Amino acid sequence: MVYTAITGRFRVVIIGPARMLTAVYTFLLEFHHKAMTIRTILEFPDPRLRTTAAPVATVDKRIRHLLDDMLETMYEAKGIGLAATQIDVHERIVVMDLSEERDSPLILINPEVEIIGDGQLEHDEGCLSVPGFYETVSRPDCIRLRALNEKGEAFELEPDGLQAVCIQHELDHLNGKLFVDYLSALKRQRIRKKLEKLHRQSA
Ligand SMILES: [Zn+2]
């Protein structure tokens, strides 16, 4: 049975238990969906990308909400990593997902990296803040990562390959550094001019 009465600004709906459950479930789904926001990603040469991010003091509800937004923004942009700096939030937070299924997020809060080997790895890097450009960058291959997860628990990881590259790329963002900084001044200038032109055209 459904009975609807309009009382002032509120609509009162009296419904049976099964429909009530469905309604509650739908509300929760919608609420959860609405609670996440796709944020705007800053693009090179935006000076805000040069900000050094501050450590997170407490991993609380606000941070977890921010993590939801960051993951949503990264998945929407089809990226494999996103640093808070890129959405103009200057706290030491990174989200990543290197899985093909896009269902294995890795959260790094206050990440720190130590180089533990001599190997270097060359990899073609791209960046959501430098859209459309891919260039080869050489980085240490063997690193040790220490960070906090979304519950504020400390963990360690010894990543290699693409994961090691991605972690270092994202950590650079937290220090105001971009992958274009590893290129020649000429190449960087060329990318800057092309992006500035695109930004002017879309303004
Ligand atoms: Zn990037």
In angstroms, how far is CA 56 from the centroid of its own chain? 15
Chain segment 129-145, per-residue pLDDT in tens = 999 999 999 999 999 99
Catalytic option among 76, 156, 170, 196: 170
How many A from CA of 43 to the centre of ligand 1?
Answer: 10
Establish whether the linkage from the previous residue to 45 is cis, with ω within 30° of 0: yes
pLDDT at 203: 85
Query: For the chain, which ranges sit under pLDDT 70?
Result: 1-34
**Are 67 and 152 spatial neighbours (Cβ–Cβ below 8 Å)?**
no
pLDDT at 36: 84
How many A from CA of 117 to the centre of ligand 1?
Answer: 24
How many A from CA of 81 to the centre of ligand 1?
Answer: 7
Q: Which 3 state secondary structure label does DSSP give 94?
A: strand
Residue 170 among the catalytic residues: yes
How many A from CA of 111 to the centre of ligand 1?
Answer: 16
Burial class (CB in 10 A: 0-12, 13-18, 19+), 63: buried
How many A from CA of 7 to the centre of ligand 1?
Answer: 52
How many A from CA of 79 to the centre of ligand 1?
Answer: 9
pTM: 0.83
